[in-house]
């Protein structure tokens, strides 16, 4: 993390809000950095896991919502199982991702959110993942057409990609679940 | 012994060999399966990255359906297992919003989750003394000389309190013990529970490339000729990202599903059909050790 040299005024309201939303006792962190030591993704992060926690404590909302870290956290839960204070940083990151999407900030990564969107769209439509359709949706969103072309061809040769979706009979139940999820988000 | 079988989406597409080998091995072990009727996708990483509600509700629909079929749910996919287990835990422990969620299920499906059935992973079942003994009794072709590292990854072990069936989730042993039963050479290594990048295989292939390289290097450094896993994400990442077509370095360490190794050892099912699905062909290694079933 680059120091700006400027002093920052901590905001406790953001800390409170994030603790409520994520269910994580962020205030307890004493910066032992055990989380960062075991984090497989720290090499690709702009803020290390311990820094995420510190920035939450200091109310640095904007820096967090625009960070790449929250998107490249693999949710591997290594930090959660090792933190002496029982803090699950992936849950903190999930809450931050949710806020970033809600507040329409410039996202610190575009590929991961595009993937999640295509993935969920596939579930909503069929009740199951239809890989070929999901991949097409992802490519259209990200324009990364050539990425993994060779691999796609191998998969087709091996019969690992199906060309027809499997659809469950009660897709309407899945649609209702999605509607409820949306309503819950609106009411927060 | 009878279970309700939840394959999940991967086992119906990219991980078909895991589906086939699981079913054929379980059948040979005398474990009856009935597929969960009208199962839906568990939501995977995308659901819980996006919405707490979806992360619990999508797996919960499957649990409500499973209760109608009366038996515990058996899951080979580590990711599905993790999500279904997490939903089960959420409901049983009365997590935030769980009562409301159950009422929503009543409204949507006309039934609630009662907590009468449990979610089990196949490795947990294979590791039971009774089943391990059965595997040992059926051993037709012990995997002598096969040097293999057991790779557990994240989803079978973490969060330990919710999903793990190990005594110590940081030092898991169930796959190690199974390899011992199969007569394989179980190699100790440093990366048993490290992450492979999971669901980033499509959205962030470069990150997965970095992680899989570390894993394959560690396996080779330890002296292994193969890796064994119980997760379709781990298998896919390791199998595709060391292959040139996946942008990998071209190393050729085969990555097996545990059910494939059990199947080879006890002579269950049609192993040739599973093995030909791999990008890194495991046949040369198996042939060099004389471990292929004569067919
Ligand atoms: S392991 Fe826990 S206490 Fe230690 S720095 Fe990380 S979040 Fe803070
Ligand atoms: S859950 Fe995220 S932050 Fe925690 S160790 Fe894994 S990748 Fe790092």
Question: How do residues A127-179 score in pLDDT, each as one tens digit?
Answer: 999 988 888 899 889 988 888 888 988 888 898 888 889 999 999 999 999 99
Contacts of A128 in chain B (CB under 8 A): 9, 12, 39-41
Which tens digits make up the pLDDT trace of B106-158?
Answer: 999 999 999 999 999 999 999 999 999 999 999 999 999 999 999 999 999 99
Range among A6-15, B45-54, B260-269 rated most confident: B260-269
Kindly state whether A178 is in contact with chain B, defined as any CB-CB distance less than 8 angstroms: yes
Query: Which tokens go with B222?
Result: 């330890």
Residues B18-27, mean pLDDT to the nearest whole number: 98
Cα A77 to Cα A35, A38, B94, B153, B164: the distances in Å are 9, 10, 22, 11, 12
Q: With 70 as the cut, is the pLDDT of residue B295 above it?
A: no
Cα distance between residue B199 and residue A116, in whole Å = 10
Contacts of A80 in chain B (CB under 8 A): 158-159
Tell me which chain A residue has its CA closest to the CA of residue B156. A76
User: So what's the pLDDT on residue A187?
Assistant: 56
If one residue of A15, A24, A32, A45 were mutated to test the ligand 1 pocket, choosing by the most ligand atoms within 8 A of its CB, it would be A32
Query: Which tokens go with B220?
Result: 């080779």
User: So what's the pLDDT on residue B294?
Assistant: 59
Q: What secondary structure letter does DSSP report for A132? A: H
User: So what's the pLDDT on residue A163?
Assistant: 81
Residues B168-193, mean pLDDT to the nearest whole number: 97
Q: Kindly report the pTM of this predicted structure.
A: 0.95
Query: Which tokens go with A100?
Result: 């970033």
User: So what's the pLDDT on residue A5?
Assistant: 62
Which ipTM score applies to this complex? 0.93
Give me the residues of chain A with pLDDT under 50, please: 188
**Average predicted confidence (pLDDT) for chain B:** 96
The closest CB to that of A72, out of B16, B39, B207, belongs to B207
Lowest mean pLDDT among A9-18, B67-76, B97-106, B222-231: A9-18
Q: With 70 as the cut, is the pLDDT of residue B5 above it?
A: yes
Centre of ligand 1 to C-alpha A50, Å, is 6
Contacting B residues, span 225-254, partner chain A, CB-CB under 8 Å: 240, 243-247
User: So what's the pLDDT on residue A161?
Assistant: 84
Cβ pair A43:B109 closer than 8 A: no
Centre of ligand 1 to C-alpha A31, Å, is 5
Contacts of B45 in chain A (CB under 8 A): 75, 116
């Amino acid at each position: 993390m680059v120091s700006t040299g400027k002093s920052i005024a901590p905001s406790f309201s953001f800390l409170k809000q994030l603790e409520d939303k994520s269910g994580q006792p962020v205030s307890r962190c004493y910066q032992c950095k055990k989380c960062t030591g075991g984090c497989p993704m720290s090499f690709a992060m702009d803020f290390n896991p311990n820094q995420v926690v510190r920035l939450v404590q200091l109310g640095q909302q904007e820096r967090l919502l625009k960070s790449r870290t929250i998107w490249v956290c693999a949710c591997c839960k290594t930090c959660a199982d090792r933190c002496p204070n029982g803090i699950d940083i992936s849950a903190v990151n999930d809450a931050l991702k949710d806020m970033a999407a809600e507040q329409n900030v410039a996202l610190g990564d575009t590929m991961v959110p595009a993937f999640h969107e295509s993935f969920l769209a596939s579930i909503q439509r069929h009740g199951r993942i239809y890989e070929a359709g999901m991949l097409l949706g992802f490519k259209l969103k990200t324009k990364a057409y050539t990425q993994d072309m060779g691999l796609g061809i191998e998969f087709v040769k091996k019969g690992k990609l199906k060309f027809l979706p499997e659809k469950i009979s009660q897709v309407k139940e899945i649609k209702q679940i999605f509607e409820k999820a949306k309503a819950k988000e609106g009411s927060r | 012994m009878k279970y309700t079988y939840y394959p999940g989406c991967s086992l119906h597409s990219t991980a078909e060999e895991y589906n086939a080998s699981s079913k054929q091995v379980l059948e040979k072990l005398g474990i009856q399966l009935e597929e969960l009727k009208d199962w839906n996708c568990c939501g995977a990483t995308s659901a819980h990255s996006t919405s707490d509600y979806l992360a619990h509700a999508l797996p919960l629909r499957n649990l409500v359906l499973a209760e109608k079929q009366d038996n515990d749910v058996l899951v080979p996919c580590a990711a599905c297992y993790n999500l279904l287990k997490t939903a089960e835990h959420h409901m049983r422990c009365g997590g935030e919003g769980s009562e409301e969620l159950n009422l929503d299920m009543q409204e949507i499906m006309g039934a609630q989750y009662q907590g009468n059935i449990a979610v089990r992973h196949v490795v947990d079942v294979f590791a039971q003394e009774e089943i391990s003994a059965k595997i040992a009794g059926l051993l037709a072709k012990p995997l002598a000389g096969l040097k293999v590292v057991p790779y557990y990854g994240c989803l079978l072990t973490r969060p330990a309190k919710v999903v793990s069936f190990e005594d110590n989730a940081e030092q898991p042993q169930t796959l190690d013990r199974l390899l011992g039963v199969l007569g394989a050479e179980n190699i100790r290594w440093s990366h048993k529970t490290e992450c492979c990048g999971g669901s980033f295989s499509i959205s962030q292939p470069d990150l997965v490339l970095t992680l899989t390289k570390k894993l394959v290097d560690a396996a080779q450094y330890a002296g292994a000729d193969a890796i064994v896993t119980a997760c379709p994400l781990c298998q896919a990442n390791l199998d595709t990202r060391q292959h040139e077509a996946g942008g990998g370095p071209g190393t050729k360490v085969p990555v097996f599903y545990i059910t494939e190794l059990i199947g080879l050892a006890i002579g269950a099912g049609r192993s040739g059909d599973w093995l030909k699905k791999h990008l890194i062909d495991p046949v040369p290694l198996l042939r060099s050790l004389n471990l292929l079933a004569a067919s």
